[in-house]
Amino acid sequence: MLELTVNGQAHVVEADPEMPLLWVLRDHLGLTGTKYGCGVAACGACTVLVGGEAVRSCTLPAGDVRDAVTTIEGHGNPEALSALQAAWIEHQVAQCGYCQPGQIMQAASLLADNPAPSDEEIDTAMRGNLCRCGTYQRVRTAIRAAAGEMREARL
Amino acid sequence: MSRLGRIARRTFLVGSVAIAGGVAFGIWQARRPVANPLRPADGEVTLNPYVLIDASGVTVIAPRAEMGQGIHSTLAALVAEEMDLDWPAVRVLHGPPARAYFNGALLGPGVPVNAERGVLHDTRQAAADLAPRALGLQITGGSTSLVDAFDKMRRAGAAARETLMAAAAARAGVDIARLRTEGGAVVTPEGLRLRYEDLAQDAAAIEPPRAPRLKPPSEWRLLGRSLPRTDIPSKVTGTAQFAGDVRLPDMLYATVRLSPRLGAAMRSIDMAEALAVPGVERIVEFEDGFGVIARDTWTAMRAADLVRAEWDRAPYPPQTDAIFERIALAFDSRPNSRLRNDGDAAARLTAAPPGRVFEAEYRVPYLAHSTMEPMSATAVLRDNHLEMWAGNQIPIAFRDAAARAIGLSSGDVTLHTTVMGGGFGRRAEVDVAVQAARLAASVPGRPVCMTWTREEDMTHDFYRPGAIARARAVVGPDGPEAVVLRIAAPSVSRQGARRLMGFAPPGPDHMLVEGAHDQPYRIPDFLVSGHIADVAVPVGYWRSVGYSHNGFFHECLMDELAREAGLDPVEMRLRLIDDAPSRGVIEAVADMSGWGADRPSGTGRGFAFTRSFGAPMAQVVELAETGAGLRITRAWAAVDVGLAIDPGNVEAQVISGMIYGLSAAVMGEITFADGMVEQHNFPDYDALRMDNAPEIAVRILETMPELAGIGEPGTPPAMPALANALYDLTGERVRELPLNRRFAFA
Ligand code: FES
Ligand code: FES
């Protein structure tokens, strides 16, 4: 038995505690926005927030998760876009889109820690998120734009 | 169920021969009508294979698959433009597998855009349409989607608009000439708005015009602009449904393991330990592997690790070196093609004094597609009807392969083509269809969601083949005077044709030499020959196909010959190339990058030019020495696409193609040991990341007389431009990829 809080909702899941969080989210909770890309923490497609920190859910045993989990579905939705999602649309970032939920969750954790990251800090934070469509340039632009929006909103 | 789900279901419930429901028209109607595959439900009306109208508005049916290239939005814009739809209200769905959606551009030349500049559409396109229609080719590939659709879908939109106007004229009792359209409605002179939704039923009964009036470009509101893509909101909120995201009641999850020696049979299998894992439902044997079905994907993947299987020997040389020896052997055989044979290059080289003959050999490795989303599909067999969700580039062949695999007829299979987490040519294969069908058939009534591991994906690709080029040349003061360029590689087109049609057509293999024989260089004595190597490693269509290796061979060679002649590489191109659009992009990229100016110290720059898929593209790549290794700092690209239907998307595709090519050039390499692929996951087959990908500037020119696709042309010149930059920086000529074998990259 696993007890998890995901996107503000408590769940009890009947699954092996060794099962990576990714598969609990996708196959047991039906939250398919979080993607499988490599299973070895090498691509970032599975990135979610646990206790506000970006983690690779493909290598995190669900039984080890103590803090609340936020997935892309909890981060924002089509009716209530987050600042990052809005910037992603504004700057037309996504191509195939498969890496993008992970990119956005990684960026969310970056901006929570560092509201005004330099380009170099963005690069360092995002280098674990592979994009085979090569959208990096627009990802960087969107992060900068969202950071600006969020700083303004806070004023 | 989605609207298209209902449409497709109905289509296939009535059997493989679609019953003509709506009115089909378009350029093909003049010769032989193709059935409209859309089966509207109550409250829905279809005016042609591309237009579906219901109470909530107009849905454009896209005949091509969305794998990241933005084609759904661009295709929808063609229809929306002519119908005067409001862009934010436009919805797009992928059409069902159907002959109506044949890709006419695959086998033919591009669409002349001067049709848009006053000249009527020519008949070459029309003739080219016949062959793929006969073959039922509904293919997304070859950078052809827009070229194929440019006329068809605008005409479909224009014809739909005219029937809607006729319906409005009849209803309002107004002369049609006094009506106009705007925002998804017909507007009367009094300002009365008749919405398309309310006119659709009447319009469907009206014979559509054969030659609807198309808007001249001066009236375009949507085409020629960067539009927001229709698929991005769902992709940034995690709501876009990829094939592996389908969730249905009673679902099971699966993964497959195939012979690690590609194509080798499975000799024995011991599944006892795997079957004992709690949650494992069953294990299905294939000739060359097995699939594990379980209550979740992780259980399936873990159990698959516990299956013990023995595999036959590989049907190809087991080590990379031996494979390349086999490829080199092809040089001794009669060439398959001499598609470029100007003057008498062989004689010129024989006559030249030995010291004056330049010689070089270039090599490129096998490459994986490495799409971000590993292969996946979801399927369920109910009452002898298979329903499947899969990202694929060839819906008809994909559906038929699934049907054959479990003894059904094509009419018993409903295929939903989902968005894809990258295609790059990998999803133009049907292996996944066969597996998903067989897994679903083993547990009738229960949906099975199949996901390959990354390791399976990396080791069971249809690879870009390894290739070798041998060049000999004589150089004069203006550059090359005589060149013999010989290319040896396994044939992608023959293998691909054999898989798709069961036989390989004889004759010259264009793909083997594309990018070498077809470039607009004027070299007096110039021979390009193609030599087909006999290696049974599965090879397939990798973004830009033959251009991906020949662009490298040809443009590294040209860079070397420029240095031999003591000429600037850009200057030499301008002396050898007359074609105006090609000169245009070369001059543009030189200008953008400040080519002639002094390089900052510690940096090098390389230039390359390739005309592929109708688009001439010139690129400059800048490479810098950092303390930690070489870093690609900046890059510039200029391309001529004839007409940029969506400039923002053209830019995105050029950058995407370049990063794909640069990634391969720096670090992409598939090697073999004991018949098995040695790279398993991203740590050993990586790509550029945000911190080492260059900032890329793109300039789009529109002078070409024909429209060009843009999904692939960014890739070929990126690789030689980088290798040439490496020479500029280090003085070392590296003729083999990937470059990180010899140099450390930061
Ligand atoms: S799937 Fe977790 S990092 Fe790749
Ligand atoms: S958008 Fe396709 S992998 Fe990033």
Task: Indicate yes or no: CB of B247 within 8 angstroms of CB of A20.
Answer: no
**Span A86-104, mean pLDDT?**
98
Residue B28 has pLDDT above 80, yes or no: no
Same domain, B646 and B696: yes
| Domain limits for position B640 | 333-367+463-741
Picking from A19, A36, A130, the nearest residue to B682 by CB comes out as A130
Q: What is the pLDDT of residue B191?
A: 96
Q: Name the strand (E) or helix (H) holding B417.
A: strand B413-417
Residue pair B568/B492 in contact (Cβ under 8 Å)? The answer is no
Same domain, A15 and A47: yes
Same domain, B260 and B297: yes
Chain A residues near residue B420 by CB distance under 8 angstroms:
96
Residue B130 has pLDDT above 90, yes or no: no
**Span B713-717, mean pLDDT?**
98
Same domain, B105 and B64: yes
Picking from A23, A99, A132, the nearest residue to B298 by CB comes out as A23
Domain membership of residue B442 (yes or no) is yes
Residue pair B297/A36 in contact (Cβ under 8 Å)? The answer is yes
Task: Give the closest ligand to the alpha carbon of residue A103.
Answer: 2
| Secondary structure (DSSP) of B189-219 | TT--EEEHHHHHHHHHTSPPPSSPPPPPGGG
Q: What is the pLDDT of residue B503?
A: 84
Last residue of a domain, one of B225, B259, B282: B225
What is the tally of structural domains in chain A? 2
Q: What is the pLDDT of residue B103?
A: 82
pLDDT tens by residue, B622-660: 999 999 999 999 999 999 999 999 999 999 999 999 999
Measured from the Cα of A57, ligand 1's closest atom is: 2
What is the tally of structural domains in chain B? 3
Alpha-carbon dihedral of residues B288, B294, B297, B299, nearest 10 degrees?
A: -100
Split at pLDDT 50, 70, 90, the class of B147 is: confident
**Span B437-447, mean pLDDT?**
98
Last residue of a domain, one of B419, B451, B483: B451
What is the greatest pairwise CA distance in chain A? 46
Same domain, B54 and B70: yes
Last residue of a domain, one of A40, A57, A74: A74
pLDDT tens by residue, B319-342: 999 999 999 999 999 999 999 999
Residue pair B92/B76 in contact (Cβ under 8 Å)? The answer is yes
**Span B476-489, mean pLDDT?**
96
| Secondary structure (DSSP) of B672-738 | EETTEES--STTTS----TTTSPEEEEEEE---SB----SSTTHHHHHHHHHHHHHHHHS----BS-
Q: What is the pLDDT of residue B124?
A: 37
Same domain, B407 and B491: no
Picking from A35, A78, A124, the nearest residue to B233 by CB comes out as A78
Same domain, B215 and B253: no
Residue B95 has pLDDT above 90, yes or no: no
Query: Hey, what are A125's tokens?
Result: 């934070």
Q: Name the strand (E) or helix (H) holding B80.
A: helix B71-83
Residue B519 has pLDDT above 80, yes or no: yes
Same domain, B412 and B489: no
Residue B129 has pLDDT above 60, yes or no: no
Same domain, B408 and B531: no
Residue B116 has pLDDT above 50, yes or no: no
Same domain, B137 and B248: no
**Span B350-360, mean pLDDT?**
94
CATH number of the domain bearing residue A45: 3.10.20.30
Same domain, B470 and B603: yes
Domain membership of residue B284 (yes or no) is yes
Residue pair B570/B586 in contact (Cβ under 8 Å)? The answer is yes
A6 Cα–ligand 1 center, Å: 19
pLDDT tens by residue, B13-25: 222 222 222 222 2
Last residue of a domain, one of A49, A74, A99: A74
Q: What is the pLDDT of residue A66?
A: 96
Same domain, A102 and A119: yes
Q: What is the pLDDT of residue B101?
A: 87
Residue B29 has pLDDT above 90, yes or no: no
Same domain, A67 and A109: no
Same domain, A68 and A88: no
Q: What is the pLDDT of residue B99?
A: 80
Residue nearest atom 4 of ligand 2, based on CA coordinates: A131
β-pairing, B91-94 vs B57-62, is parallel
Closest residue in A to B696 (Cα) is: A137
Domain membership of residue B247 (yes or no) is yes
Same domain, B213 and B305: no
What lines the ligand 2 site, CB under 6 Å? A 94-100, 131-133, 135; B 68, 372, 422
Domain membership of residue B458 (yes or no) is no
Q: What is the pLDDT of residue B23?
A: 25
Same domain, B473 and B602: yes
Q: What is the pLDDT of residue B497?
A: 87
| Secondary structure (DSSP) of B476-522 | ETTEEEEEEEEEEEE-HHHHHHHHHHSS---S--HHHHTTTTTS-B-
Task: Indicate yes or no: CB of B247 within 8 angstroms of CB of A96.
Answer: no
Split at pLDDT 50, 70, 90, the class of B542 is: very high
pLDDT tens by residue, B247-284: 999 999 999 999 999 999 999 999 999 999 999 999 99
Domain membership of residue B235 (yes or no) is no
Domain membership of residue B130 (yes or no) is yes
Q: B105-109, B361-365, B499-503, B520-524: which range is least confident on average?
A: B105-109
Three-state secondary-structure class, residue A9 = strand
**Span B304-326, mean pLDDT?**
98
Domain membership of residue B321 (yes or no) is no
**Span B117-128, mean pLDDT?**
35
Mean pLDDT (chain B, rounded): 90
pLDDT tens by residue, A30-89: 999 999 999 999 999 999 999 999 999 999 999 999 999 999 999 999 999 999 999 999
Task: Indicate yes or no: CB of A132 within 8 angstroms of CB of B422.
Answer: yes
Q: A90-99, B6-15, B313-322, B354-363: which range is least confident on average?
A: B6-15
Chain B residues near residue A133 by CB distance under 8 angstroms:
68, 372, 422, 656
A134 Cα–ligand 2 center, Å: 7
Last residue of a domain, one of A45, A74, A103: A74
User: Helices B647-667 and B715-730, interaxial angle, to 10°?
Assistant: 50
Residue B481 has pLDDT above 70, yes or no: yes
| Domain limits for position A123 | 83-154
Residue A154 has pLDDT above 90, yes or no: no
pTM of the model: 0.93
Alpha-carbon dihedral of residues B518, B520, B524, B529, nearest 10 degrees?
A: -10
Same domain, A90 and A42: no
Domain membership of residue B327 (yes or no) is no
In percent, how much of chain B has pLDDT > 90? 81
CATH number of the domain bearing residue B473: 3.30.365.10
**Residue A152 burial (C-beta neighbours within 10 Å; 0-12, 13-18, 19+):** exposed
**Residue B253 burial (C-beta neighbours within 10 Å; 0-12, 13-18, 19+):** buried
Mutation target to probe the A interface, by most A beta carbons within 10 A, among B298, B455, B658, B698 is B298
Split at pLDDT 50, 70, 90, the class of B232 is: very high
Q: Rounded distance, CA B71 to CA B59, Å? A: 15
β-pairing, B376-382 vs B308-311, is unpaired
What is the greatest pairwise CA distance in chain B? 87
Q: Which ranges of B261-375 does DSSP label H, i.e. alpha helix?
A: 272-275, 297-306, 320-329, 345-351
Q: What is the pLDDT of residue B518?
A: 97
Split at pLDDT 50, 70, 90, the class of B107 is: low
Residue B118 has pLDDT above 70, yes or no: no
Last residue of a domain, one of B451, B486, B515: B451
**Span A97-106, mean pLDDT?**
98
- Nearest chain B Cα distance for residue A51, angstroms: 20
Q: What is the pLDDT of residue B146?
A: 87
Q: A100-104, B119-123, B161-165, B209-213: which range is least confident on average?
A: B119-123
Same domain, A95 and A140: yes
CATH number of the domain bearing residue A108: 1.10.150.120
Split at pLDDT 50, 70, 90, the class of B31 is: very low
Residue B66 has pLDDT above 50, yes or no: yes
- Residue whose C-alpha is closest to residue B245's, from B49, B376, B407: B376
**Span B212-216, mean pLDDT?**
95
Q: What is the pLDDT of residue B16?
A: 22
Same domain, A42 and A98: no
Split at pLDDT 50, 70, 90, the class of B34 is: low
Residue pair B482/B352 in contact (Cβ under 8 Å)? The answer is yes
